Structure 1
Amino acid sequence: MKKLPTLHILNGDETVKAFAEASIPGNTLVWREVLSEGPAVNTIPEKEFWEKRQEFVTNAYPGASEEDYRQKVLEELSKLEGLSAFFEVVLWFDADLMCQLNLLYLLHRLQQNPPSMISVCTPAPETNIAHLSPSKLDELFQKRQQQSAEQLNQAHDLWELYAGPDPLRLQLYLEQFKIILPHMEAALKLHVLRFPDCQTGLSYPEQALLELVNEGANTKELLLQEFWHQLPEYGFGDAQILYLLNRLQPDLIQETAHLRLSFFGDRVLEGIGAFMPKPHWLGGVKVDAHTAWCYNKSTKRLALNGNSTKRK
């Protein structure tokens, strides 16, 4: 059977409009999941994997319903089964952490049953595909990077480590092997910074939120703007930042007329107190007060957590 020429996998609805204006030939599939947030566990069957994802998304993000998830995520996901019908699959993903972890999953999945050609279009860091002009999108397409078997194999290995239960294995891989996937090493190092600090219990993004509120971002609108401005490399949208904020309220950040740090939030920011992380997932690792790993700022590495039961 003759193969269809090209399938473009676009990251999010914002990319769709810009892509349509560029008139690049081929079919499209829209990827709407956010695998940087919530459980992404490789030790369970695939059906259960997506059930856990649906449960997380519909509980974590206001306005997300099971029906929306079925239509916007699961129905698109089912189209991945037919990728072998295409000669080339082109993945359009930005360089930030959120996009790169979505890309990592798709490369891992494509590695298992690859079409004839797999290519990636990623603009320079802090550049968003959705904001590119039609001519810039076409230029990016002409410069797309075909993925080698070695790159696909590494993507598979890295996804298994990201979605696995031991983040030290991921850290060790990053230290011992050259990462041949552009932008992926930077994204995974940012991921490691999301583990609780060994002293404060805060992840790097959570620490940033406290600092921004302390510096005067006293409304959610201001906080969102400042987070985007100071940490664009994470690629978080409103929903992801507000999900982070919710984990810190009311213990560290309180909201009356304005956002402000609580007394305990001040102490944690000063390095006097230590926060007990609320339960959440980082890939395949469940993070809570008893998590076995924390991030050591002195060594800039994950370490076994000797203080997991001593925090507030």
Structure 2
Amino acid sequence: MRKQYHILNGDSLKEHFPESIQGEIIVAKECLVDGSVKGKSLTDFFKTRAEFISSNYDGCTEQDYFEKTVPEFQKMQMIPDYSDINLWFEDDLFCQVNLWFTVNLIFNSLRSSKVFLIRPAIHNQFGFGGLSEIELINAYKQKAQITELDKIALLWNFYQNNDIEELVKTANKLAQKYPFILNAVEAHINRIPNENGPGRPKQTLIDIMNELGTDSFGAVFKEFNKRESIYGFGDLQVKRLFDEVKNNG
């Protein structure tokens, strides 16, 4: 019988992962949608991320990153041949960027392993977190094998190198089977500041603050999640943008 591995996007799903689903759990403990992802090697990349996370996320040191985050990615690389690898990722940009990196990481290590994608049947701001145990089991039963690992792995390379043209080209090639990838890529492009504005997320925050007549983060964050669930940002990511908007007047 093939060994089962489940790669989850964050610890929240792990906390209520159905016990009836057999297999080893590995957690992608990252938010690659936020901050620099530069690095000529995997070692350089992890150093870049450790520095960014420790500088911008309270309660996480560089040592924490290398002791808690890096080992999970190393586990992915050590998955044995002839395994089934189940990727539990949602459609929003936060999850998609982590997915692209994960696929890129395991792609060259695969030997006769099969990779499956598991997505929520209903896509909303709560994602897997809004599903019951039965709904999670049903999502697992509906898993779909990924046969385009090479192209999805390339998405990470293009994202990391900020190659928007190739990112869009590859997303379009995958669009018929994975339309949510193109949606995420478009959301990424729209958040890049240009001469016409500060980018979609910041503009949405400005609009919400003006419409609600408040700069209370709690109220603004709640409304942002309703309008911009495509980004999948948590409170930490939105708070960084929120503070930048406030500081810039």
Same fold by TM-score, threshold 0.5 exceeded? Answer: yes
Corresponding position of 1:88: 84
- Counterpart-to-counterpart distance in 2, 1:107 and 1:70: 20
Q: Does 1:250 align with 2:228?
A: no
Q: Which runs of 5+ in 1 are unaligned?
A: 253-312
Q: Does 1:152 align with 2:143?
A: no
- Counterpart-to-counterpart distance in 2, 1:228 and 1:103: 21
- Counterpart-to-counterpart distance in 2, 1:26 and 1:172: 35
Q: C-alpha displacement at 1:174, in angstroms?
A: 4.3
Relative to structure 1, is the Cα distance of residues 65 and 187 closer, same or farther in structure 2, using a 3 angstrom cutoff?
same
Tell me the TM-score normalized by structure 2. Answer: 0.90
Bigger drift between 100-109 and 76-85 goes to 76-85
When you count helix as a share of all residues, which structure comes out higher?
2
Corresponding position of 2:209: 213
SS of the residue corresponding to residue 79 of structure 2 reads helix
Q: Which runs of 5+ in 2 are unaligned?
A: none
Corresponding position of 2:123: 125
SS of the residue corresponding to residue 215 of structure 2 reads coil
Q: Does 1:38 align with 2:40?
A: no
Question: How many equivalent pairs are there?
Answer: 244
Within-5 A mapping of 1:19-98: 19=17, 21-41=18-38, 44-85=40-81, 87-98=83-94
- Counterpart-to-counterpart distance in 1, 2:51 and 2:82: 32
Q: Does 1:228 align with 2:225?
A: yes
- Counterpart-to-counterpart distance in 1, 2:82 and 2:56: 35
Q: C-alpha displacement at 1:234, in angstroms?
A: 0.8
Corresponding position of 1:139: 138
Tell me the TM-score normalized by structure 1. Answer: 0.73
Q: C-alpha displacement at 1:82, in angstroms?
A: 1.1
**Larger Rg: 1 or 2?**
1
Q: C-alpha displacement at 1:181, in angstroms?
A: 3.3
Bigger drift between 165-174 and 4-13 goes to 165-174
Within-5 A mapping of 1:148-297: 148=147, 151-174=148-171, 177-179=173-175, 180-200=177-197, 202-216=198-212, 217-252=214-249
| Paired residue type of 1:145 | A
Q: Deviations over 1:246-293 (max 9, x none)?
A: 2223122xxxxxxxxxxxxxxxxxxxxxxxxxxxxxxxxxxxxxxxxx
Residue from 103, 106, 115 that aligns with 2:102: 106
Runs (4+) off by over 6 Å = none
